[in-house]
Amino acid sequence: VASEFDIIRRYFTRPAPRAEVGVGDDCALVKVASGVELAISADMLVCGQHFFADADPLKLGHKALAVNLSDMAAMGAVPRWAMLCLALPEPDEAWLEGFSRGFFALTQEYGLDLIGGDTTRGPLNICVQILGEVPEGQALRRDRAKPGDEVWVSGTLGDAGLALAHAHGRIELSPEDAAACFAQLDMPQPRVALGLALRSIATSAIDISDGLVADLGHILESSGVSADVEFSALPVSAAGARHLPGEIAQQAVLAGGDDYELCFTAPAALATEVATLARRLRMPLTRIGRIAAGSGLRIYDAGGNPLSIGVGGFDHFR
Ligand code: ADP
Ligand code: MG
Q: Is 61's C-beta closer than 6 angstroms to any atom of ligand 1?
A: no
CA nearest ligand 1 atom 1, residue: 26
DSSP letter string over 150-182?
EEEEES-SSHHHHHHHHHTTSS---HHHHHHHH
Q: Which ligand is nearest to the CA of 87?
A: 1
CA-to-CA distance for 71 and 78, rounded, in angstroms?
11
Atom 18 of ligand 1: nearest residue by CA position: 117
Confidence of residue 312 (pLDDT cuts 50, 70, 90): very low
Query: What's residue 19's pLDDT?
Result: 97
Length of the chain measured in residues: 318
Please choose from 119, 120, 121 the residue to mutate so as to test ligand 1's pocket, defined by most ligand atoms within 8 A of CB.
119
With bands split at pLDDT 50, 70 and 90, how would you rate the model's confidence at 3?
confident
pLDDT in the model for residue 310: 54
Which tens digit of pLDDT belongs to each residue from 161-198? 999 999 999 999 999 999 999 999 999 999 999 999 99
Each residue of 214-241: pLDDT tens digit? 999 999 999 999 999 999 999 999 999 9
- Integer CA distances (angstroms), 290 to 10, 152, 236, 273, 277, in order: 51, 9, 19, 17, 19
Q: How far apart are CA 147 and CA 62, in angstroms?
A: 38
Q: How confident is the model at residue 309 (pLDDT cuts 50, 70, 90)?
A: low
pLDDT at position 48 over 60: yes
pTM score of the predicted model: 0.95
Q: What pLDDT digit, counting tens, does each position of 8-35 carry?
A: 999 999 999 999 999 999 999 999 999 9
Whether the CB of 86 sits within 6 Å of ligand 1: yes
Average pLDDT over residues 291-303: 94
Q: Is 302 exposed, middle or buried (0-12, 13-18, 19+ CB in 10 A)?
A: exposed
